[in-house]
Amino acid sequence: MFNETVLKEIDEIKARYPDERSALLPSLYIAQKEFGWLSPKAMLCVAQTLNLPEAMVRGTASFYAMFKHKPMGRHVIQLCTNIACMILGAEKLVGFLKTTYGLEPNKTTADGRFSLVIMECIGACGTAPAMLINTDFYDNLTEKKIEDILGKYK
Ligand code: FES
């Protein structure tokens, strides 16, 4: 079960809505933040906390790419390689991450520091290529800029 801090956070979210189902997405996000990913146990905790069927929680969690269903690195890099980013060098940046950090799509570095997820458009086409690290946004990426950015994440 969730600890008291997490339960309080979910209770505050539940209070904003007329029914508990409306609190599902933010509660899943909180569970992912707490456990690092949405394990079957984490989804069961969400279902029990919100009094929802476990199947509804799993079905919702599996629909959204932002929810992770396996253990991830401490920092999750979500790099866009869709058309605008691809034209402006995103594929080259994927190669750079592999060569420099040993980081491949859907994999985690051996030290558990980073995981890489390739994303479709993240809404920053005008300043492509773009990525998220956890919830931090970065754009106009170059190899040098990525190197500087990743240095901030230990
Ligand atoms: S194509 Fe990469 S942000 Fe839109």
Mean predicted confidence (pLDDT) in 79-108 = 97
Mean predicted confidence (pLDDT) in 80-99 = 97
Alpha carbon separation from 138 to 52, 91, 92, 119, 135 (Å, rounded): 36, 16, 16, 14, 10
The model's pTM: 0.81
Match 């279902």 to its residue by tokens: 47
9 token code pair: 């956070």
**Contact of 78 with 121, CB cutoff 8 Å:** no
Compute the Cα dihedral for 79, 68, 18, 2 and give only its sign: negative
Q: How confident is the model at residue 36 (pLDDT cuts 50, 70, 90)?
A: confident
Cα–ligand 1 centroid distance for 133 (angstroms): 15
Question: For position 66, what pLDDT does the model report?
Answer: 83
The verdict on the CB of residue 118 being under 6 Å from ligand 1 is no
What are the phi and psi torsion angles at 126 (to 5°)? -70, -20
Question: Who's near 78: CB < 8 A, 6+ residues apart?
Answer: 117, 118, 119, 122, 131, 132, 133
Q: Which of 12-16, 20-24, 35-39, 57-61 has the lowest mean pLDDT?
A: 35-39
- Within the chain, residue ranges assigned H as helices are 4-14, 24-35, 40-50, 54-63, 83-87, 90-101, 143-150
The verdict on the CB of residue 80 being under 6 Å from ligand 1 is yes
Select from 56, 46, 62, 61 the least CA-distant residue to 7: 46
Question: For position 14, what pLDDT does the model report?
Answer: 94
Atom of ligand 1 nearest to the CA of 122: 3
Every domain of the chain and the residues it spans? 4-63, 75-150
**Contact of 58 with 50, CB cutoff 8 Å:** no
Query: How high does pLDDT run on average in the chain?
Result: 95
Cα–ligand 1 centroid distance for 42 (angstroms): 31
Residue 140 has pLDDT above 90, yes or no: yes
% of the chain beyond a pLDDT of 90: 92
Mean predicted confidence (pLDDT) in 71-92 = 96
The helix/strand/coil state of 19 is coil
Which fold does the domain 75-150 belong to in CATH? Glutaredoxin (3.40.30)
The verdict on the CB of residue 128 being under 6 Å from ligand 1 is yes
Which fold does the domain 4-63 belong to in CATH? Arc Repressor Mutant, subunit A (1.10.10)
What are the phi and psi torsion angles at 50 (to 5°)? -95, 0
Cα–ligand 1 centroid distance for 106 (angstroms): 19
Compute the Cα dihedral for 130, 133, 137, 139 and give only its sign: negative
